[in-house]
Chain A
Amino acid sequence: MNDVDLVSPEVRIPWYKQRLLVLVVGSIVLALVLVMVAMALYASSGSAQLDISRPGYKSVQDQVQPSTFESFPASGEVDSDTIDEFLELYDRETMRVDSEGVFETSALEDEALGIDAP
């Protein structure tokens, strides 16, 4: 028996049968699909509108108020004082939102943007 007989002949496996390659490519494809699903959900669910970390919003990040909303207890007796407490809390919390003039269309008028007819 000589040394040549101990060396097994080289077997060429086609690329599509190589397990490592399939694993790597499969992982990349799966990751891409999952990212696309996540991005679609991010865009369609309305989460994007609440995400202030998007590019272009850095200058307004400090304008977002932290959530300090006080809850009303959902159990307990109900009398006139309970309603007074509720109304006091209700007025205090709902007054925090500034709805005066928000989303007025005048900001997007042609004149305001300088694109009105001469």
Chain B
Amino acid sequence: MKFNIPRLIAIPVVIATVVVSPALAVTVTMTDAHVARIKENCPVALATLGRIHASDAPQYINSNQIYYSTGDKLMARLNSRLTLNQFDASSLVKTASDYVATLDKFRKVYKIYDDTMSELVRMDCQRTPVTFYDRVAVAREQRGEVREAVIEIQALISKYRSQVEKFRVDNLTETDDE
């Protein structure tokens, strides 16, 4: 069995870089002045985080409610009705299925983000400013994932609508003319 020596060396180096670099990115560049600034502005930052956390909750509840109802009370029902009338609704069913999966992802990533924010607002940032700073970066990244899920859901809502219009053109225009 032949070993590719450069590859054997390169793989662990790449893995180590990927694993270690995010942690270093924050901690290495943090100066004493920066730490002092975090400590100084810590109460204001905590208050802002508390407000963001509180205002996220109704936003999530309202969005989740409408997203769920869109799938359950509109998409699923139209798909069912089309199938009952012997139409081929496979593309609509596929989009509705993707939609449900994305909604599930939205709930999961929001829960992770919400847990991080709950932990963050209770953190003693005067005593552990570096950890606090790192956790803010994590929360920001998780919030980005929630945002991405919202964009995906919106895209699927638009896609479903376009497919319904296409369905009408493909299946109902001739029927109505007759």
Q: Is the CB of A86 within 8 A of B49?
A: no
Task: Give residues 16-65 of B contacting A (CB, 8 Å).
Answer: 29-31, 33-34, 37-38, 41-42, 44-45, 48-50, 52-65
The answer to whether B59 touches A102, judged by C-beta atoms less than 8 angstroms apart, is yes
Q: Is B147 an interface residue (CB 8 A)?
A: yes
A11 to chain B, nearest CB (A): 54
Q: Which residues of A contact B161 (CB under 8 A)?
A: 87, 90-91
| B81 lies within 8 A of A117 (CB) | no
> Does A67 lie within 8 Å of B81, measured CB to CB?
no
Say if the beta carbon of B77 comes within 8 Å of chain A: yes
Query: What A residues does B54 contact at CB under 8 A?
Result: 56-57, 59-60
Q: Which residues of B contact A82 (CB under 8 A)?
A: 81
Kindly provide the distance from the CB of B62 to the nearest chain A CB, expressed in whole angstroms: 5
Chain A interface extent, by class? 35 or more
Beta-carbon nearest neighbor of A87 in chain B? B164
Instruction: Enumerate B101-121 residues with CB–CB distance to A below 8 Å.
Output: 107-108, 110-111, 114
Number of A-B contacts (CB under 8 A): 168
Contact B41 A113 (CB under 8 A): yes
Q: Which residues of B contact A (CB under 8 A)?
A: 29-31, 33-34, 37-38, 41-42, 44-45, 48-50, 52-67, 69-70, 73-74, 76-78, 80-82, 84-85, 87, 107-108, 110-111, 114, 132-133, 136, 139-141, 143-144, 146-147, 150-151, 153-154, 157, 161, 164-165, 167-168, 172-173, 175-176
Q: B41 to A69, Cβ gap below 8 A?
A: no
Min CB distance A74 to B, Å, is: 4
CB distance from B29 to the nearest CB of A (A): 8
Q: Which residue of A lies closest to B34 (CB)?
A: A117
Q: What are 25 of the A-B contact pairs (CB < 8 Å)?
A: A46-B107, A48-B114, A50-B64, A52-B57, A57-B54, A61-B58, A63-B62, A72-B81, A74-B77, A77-B85, A79-B175, A80-B168, A83-B164, A86-B164, A90-B161, A93-B70, A94-B157, A97-B66, A99-B153, A102-B147, A102-B150, A107-B52, A109-B140, A115-B37, A115-B132
A47-97 residues with Cβ-Cβ distance < 8 A to B are 48-50, 52, 56-57, 59-61, 63-65, 67, 69-80, 82-83, 86-87, 89-91, 93-94, 96-97
Q: Is the CB of B147 within 8 A of A104?
A: yes
Q: Are B81 and A64 in contact, with the CB atoms below 8 A?
A: no
- Tell me the bound Cα distance from A113 to B70 in angstroms: 36
Contact A115 B136 (CB under 8 A): yes
